[in-house]
Structure 1
């Protein structure tokens, strides 16, 4: 990833003179910085990610009742669809940007030095190496392609991990609500003792809240990078699409734009899902026949309702709550930046 980022930074600083080309490389460089930050965050939280995965494995291993397993299977298929769509858009954008666009430009002939070479998506400053010469040009072209695929893999992995962890938390909350519904009268796989059923439900609720807290710990830095980075990259890609509309490369920028919008949508949408599902737990707890519970056992329901209403939410860096409202705010901010950019450069 540094192989793409560092030489291109030197190229922009030392060789690019006009404003448009500076802005044209600002988007790819900001994406490269985003990927490096995501990779570092994933590496730093590797131990916590392993704990989350082990948590998921235990949940699947301990879920054998057919209704509960059907709920988890349904939500697992949903998260898999999100991962597949994200991977398709990510790698489609990478192939268009790293292969189709430079080949579509055609080879450039330098009249002064009589050299013909393939342009690079991430140009390299000549103070480092002159990539116009063969076979250096070919080596850098394909090495940048491999580096770009790795960078896109990191970006796809961050989004996919977010989808898998958050959707699993959502599915466990849905299972918990099924347990709460059968608290009073019991179920064939539950204990006949209401105290045991209440204890199982409370333990599972605490376990789910711990998992959501751990998921927030793993993802809050990545989410912040995603929200801030997507704000600028959506703006840049919209600008490139407008400026390159006649040049034939608008389709590449549109695919990349769809990828960034979808990634941002996934982060915000699943954050909204988890928050709403936590509230649904409190509503379900209230709607059961808690008045039929013997003695003062109904007081435990009050505690569950209070914990559900004040439960942990997924955020971007503990600053921005991940919700559809935040998604709309980011899109409006990106459009505002795009209008400002067009005004300043035209």
Structure 2
């Protein structure tokens, strides 16, 4: 029961952290609304729509994996196992997903068994909703930041020659670009502040549960219980996908931040007269020192981090197998 109980503690901590950072999350949503209200040009709207659609797809896939694991663990396994006959054969009961104290009720006799089981299934729905919500909020915020970065890159392409909806002077266009860049960096910093502790809980919890689920699957494979193997594999895919999303969005944001600096250098900045070129240096410098997503401000979230998590989980799995 170490795996299920650790998932329960993970979810409780993520729920607490979501409540703790509710003001930051609300502010992030308000910033997203402001960006949508103040976008005007057709090209910029198209870019934002593409990223919004991509964000919704990530949320849909995340929810699918999370609730697929829920369906197997809370519904498919009890149905496949059926009623367990107690020692002596006097009564039968439905096995519970989580342990329950006998001080609350006698969970082996009807109707307490059915009531406690129903409560645990409803609790499982809430816990998986919290897991899906934490991952979805991080993904939506990060993808929106990437969309704003792409809009900024589009603006940089029109810095020298201008565009119909932009200022008539280079100074005015430069001021708008720098202001937008500063706003995006503040939004990324807000997202990092709201999600870094949740990312840390997800980082440690997923790594441990991936190890345990691998061990559970191997043990059930030896006993040739196909339903339990499928359940543990679906749970492992869910945890793997969750930590992958956090690492992927961290990589995505870092890559988009660096692209702003690259685009600033690639424009025809040499056509700018006088000291107008110095504004480009400021944008490049800020792109190279921009905020990155971290887990607890200790581990940078990137694809390399995800590969390290998988390798660490496999290493602990091999150690667990050797010990048993």
Give the equivalent residue in structure 2 for 1:301.
280
Helix, strand or coil: the match of 1:208?
helix
Give the equivalent residue in structure 2 for 1:283.
262
Q: Does residue 1:330 correspond to 2:309, yes or no?
A: yes
Q: Does residue 1:77 correspond to 2:49, yes or no?
A: no
Helix, strand or coil: the match of 1:172?
helix
1:30-109 pair list within 5 angstroms: 30-109=6-85
Distance in 1 between residues matched to 2:120 and 2:80, nearest whole Å: 17
Give the equivalent residue in structure 2 for 1:137.
113
Distance in 1 between residues matched to 2:166 and 2:119, nearest whole Å: 58
Give the equivalent residue in structure 2 for 1:12.
none
Distance in 2 between residues matched to 1:195 and 1:110, nearest whole Å: 81
Instruction: Return the offset for 1:278.
Output: 0.5
Deviations along 1:270-321, whole A, 9 cap, x unmatched? 1001001111111111111111112101111101111110110000000010
Q: Does residue 1:268 correspond to 2:244, yes or no?
A: no
Give the equivalent residue in structure 1 for 2:143.
167
CA contact (8 A) 1:234 1:257 kept: yes
Instruction: Return the offset for 1:125.
Output: 3.0
Instruction: Return the offset for 1:175.
Output: 0.5
Deviates more, 1:248-257 or 1:103-112: 103-112
Give the equivalent residue in structure 1 for 2:230.
251
Helix, strand or coil: the match of 2:274?
coil
Instruction: Return the offset for 1:44.
Output: 0.4
Which runs of 4 or more aligned residues in structure 1 lie more than 6 Å from their structure 2 counterparts after TM superposition? none
CA contact (8 A) 1:237 1:257 kept: yes
Instruction: Return the offset for 1:331.
Output: 0.3
Q: Does residue 1:222 correspond to 2:201, yes or no?
A: no
Give the equivalent residue in structure 1 for 2:99.
123
Deviations along 1:93-133, whole A, 9 cap, x unmatched? 10110111122112112234712111111121324422011
Helix, strand or coil: the match of 1:256?
helix
Deviations along 1:239-273, whole A, 9 cap, x unmatched? 11111121121111111111111111110011001
Give the equivalent residue in structure 2 for 1:320.
299
Distance in 2 between residues matched to 1:223 and 1:189, nearest whole Å: 39
Give the equivalent residue in structure 1 for 2:177.
201
Helix, strand or coil: the match of 2:99?
coil
CA contact (8 A) 1:103 1:118 kept: no
Task: State which of 133, 156, 160 in structure 2 corresponds to 1:184.
Answer: 160
Give the equivalent residue in structure 2 for 1:147.
123
Using the size of structure 2 for normalisation, the TM-score is: 0.97
List alignment gaps of at least 5 residues for structure 1.
Answer: 1-24
Instruction: Return the offset for 1:160.
Output: 0.3
Helix, strand or coil: the match of 1:297?
helix
